[in-house]
Amino acid sequence: MSRGDARTLRAGRRTVEIQRPGKVLFPGRGGAPEYTKGDLADYYRAVAPYLLPHLRGRPLTLERCPDGLDGRRFLQKNTPEHYPDWITRVEVAKEGGTITHVVCDDTATLLHLADQACVTLHRWLSRTDRAGGPDHPDRLVFDLDPAGDDFAAVRDAARWMRELLAELDLPAGAMTTGSRGLHLVVPLDGRHDFDEVRRFARDVAALAASRHPDRLTTAARKHDRAGRLYLDVQRNGYAQTAVAPYSVRARPGAPVAVPLAWKQLDDPALNARRWSIADAVDQARTEPWSDLPRRGRTLGPARRRLDDMHS
Return d(Cα 288, Cα 268) in angstroms, integer. 18
Q: Give the pLDDT of residue 5.
A: 86
The 10s digit of each residue's pLDDT in 7-49 is: 999 999 999 999 999 999 999 988 899 999 999 999 999 999 9
- 210, 247: one domain: no
- 234, 246: one domain: no
- 116, 152: one domain: no
Radius of gyration for the chain, computed over Cα atoms and rounded to the nearest angstrom: 20
CATH number at residue 214: 3.30.70.3300
262 within a domain of the structure (yes/no): no
Is residue 198 within 8 A of residue 289, CB to CB? The reply is: no
- 116, 8: one domain: yes
| Positions of E strands within the chain | 2-3, 6-11, 14-19, 24-26, 35-36, 59-64, 74-76, 88-94, 97-103, 118-124, 139-145, 173-176, 182-187, 216-217, 229-232, 241-243, 259-260
Return d(Cα 178, Cα 195) in angstroms, integer. 28
pTM summary value:
0.96
Is residue 118 within 8 A of residue 153, CB to CB? The reply is: no
Give, for 194, the enclosing helix (H) or strand (E): helix 194-211
**Could you please report the per-residue DSSP string of 89-107?**
EEEEEETTEEEEEEE--SH
Paired strand residues for 234: none
pLDDT along the chain (311 residues), means of 10: 73 95 94 96 98 97 97 96 96 95 98 98 95 93 94 97 98 97 97 97 98 97 95 97 98 98 95 98 98 93 93 70
Name the domain count of the chain.
2
Show the domain range for 48.
Answer: 2-133+241-256
Q: What is the DSSP letter of 137?
A: B
- 13, 51: one domain: yes
Q: Give the pLDDT of residue 108.
A: 98
Q: Give the pLDDT of residue 149.
A: 87
- 102, 198: one domain: no
286 within a domain of the structure (yes/no): no
Cα–Cα nearest to 184, from 148, 151, 127, 232: 232
Q: What's at 5, amino acid-wise?
A: D
Query: Own/partner pairs for 213-219, CB < 8 Å, 24+ apart?
Result: 215/153, 215/156, 215/157, 216/157, 216/160
Q: Give the pLDDT of residue 191.
A: 95
- 228, 149: one domain: yes
